[in-house]
Amino acid sequence: MIHLARTVALAAALFACSCGPQEPSHGTAFEDIVIHKPGEDPQDEEWTGEAPAGAVKAAGLTDALLAKADEFRKASTSKDTRNGVYVYSVTATAYGTEPEKLAARIAVLGFRDVYLSPGSSAISNASQWLRTFISSCHGYGIDVYAVKIADVAILSAESKVNDEVNSIISYNKKVSAKERFDGISADLEAHTAKSGVTVGGTKYTWNSSTNYGKGGDNDMLLKYTIDRLASAGQLCHTNSLKLNEAYWYNYQIYCDNGQLNYGAADQFLAHCDWLVTMAYMATTEAVWNKSEPVLKAASAKKSVSICLKVKINEANSDSMQPKGWQYLLDACKTLLKKGQAYDSFRGLDQFTYEGLEQMMNN
């Protein structure tokens, strides 16, 4: 009987057929929609300057540390800026069973972007730690970017760059929406190549003393860098991922001096959503002096972050950590104020969370 009814219904539908495509229903035309104003970030409406609800408790900080975190947040954030922090596997290991706590502490510090390098196996295996951490970050309105494309050895190989992007796309396909990376944080810095050795399949070597000049080795390596970022950018954007790049301030300075054809901030920004200016200097003034040319040159709004080094390593001279917590707070206040004078200023980033936490604890 059901079959008969179905058959009759199908026959009736058939005879109701008309030639040509079905007339679809329509949505709202562009001229009739509500559009948020320029500079109004989707998450800005929620910005209060306070730590996100729930994060304070989840962070599990002592009152003293919570007070420090409040100081830092107030010194480094504003309504119109976004701050990011680099998180490496050492931190992931330290918070091995408490990814939620790490996310909460990052939120309490006012960060809204995380540049995460959890180790390649965590990504390829879609580890539970990683999924929980990203999900927790998203819960606080924090975007998470995978630190990838960080080896200058792949400068000449577009396929290898694409492989790295694809590894994130592949991860994102395995997990639910809230557990996905929001993009990729590239770290393709030609100047970090070993001096005197040809870089990653090219015939060029980086030498900060001798190889500048238009058409010189440094110039050509930066051309390679931009080409690779172009490829990565297209792949990222096609797959709903944002791309930011760690940027050495001297590229812009040498372009301004006419010593490079390639390397200007806008050339990078043609393919990247923003640049993280690695202003690794020990003093506020030096950081600003190196960053300002980049802010001046970048034509896109909110496209340049200033990254302070708070990690200690063998070259402590470029880290602010030795100068102490209060110096860092003052530096942040100064740089935030100066940066906001430029439309291109995006915010203040910290390299790394591990270093920042050390400063808080000291």
Question: Considering only residues 39-78, where is the footprint of other proteins by CB under 8 A?
Answer: 39-42
Question: In this complex, which beta carbon is closest to other proteins, that of residue 177 or of residue 197?
Answer: 177
Least distance (Å) between residue 305 CB and other proteins: 18
What string marks each residue from 125 to 154 as x (binds other proteins by CB under 8 A) or -?
A: ------------------------------
> Is residue 5 involved in binding other proteins (CB under 8 A)?
no
Q: Which is nearer to other proteins, 45 or 285 (CB)?
A: 45
Q: According to CB under 8 A, which one of 1, 4, 5, 28 is a site residue for other proteins?
A: 28
Given the complex with other proteins, which of 36 and 337 has the nearer CB atom?
Answer: 36
DSSP label at residue 322: G
The candidate with the shortest Cα–Cα distance to 301, out of 82, 69, 89, 39, is 39
Q: Note whether 27 binds other proteins by CB under 8 A.
A: yes
Q: Is 238 in the site for other proteins (CB under 8 A)?
A: yes
Q: DSSP 3-state assignment of 241?
A: coil
Nearest to 85 by CA among 291, 276, 303: 276
| 17 is a site residue for other proteins (CB under 8 A) | yes
Q: Residue 147 Cβ, how far from other proteins at the closest point, in Å?
A: 20
Cα 74 to Cα 110: distance, rounded to the nearest angstrom:
8
Which residue in 64, 79, 124, 173 binds other proteins (CB under 8 A)? 173
Q: Is 97 in the site for other proteins (CB under 8 A)?
A: no
Dist CA 217 CA 209 (whole Å): 11
Nearest to 252 by CA among 203, 201, 317, 303: 303
Is residue 4 a contact point for other proteins (CB under 8 A)? no
Longest dimension (CA), the chain: 88
DSSP code string of 63-117? HHHHHHHHHHHHHH--TT---EEEEEHHHHHHTTT-HHHHHHHHHHTT--EEEEE
360 within 8 A of 68, measured Cβ to Cβ:
yes
Among 102, 104, 169, 331, binds other proteins (CB under 8 A): 169
What residues make contact with other proteins under the rule CB under 8 A?
Answer: 6-7, 10-11, 13-15, 17-22, 24-31, 33-42, 169, 172-173, 175-178, 180, 237-240, 300-301
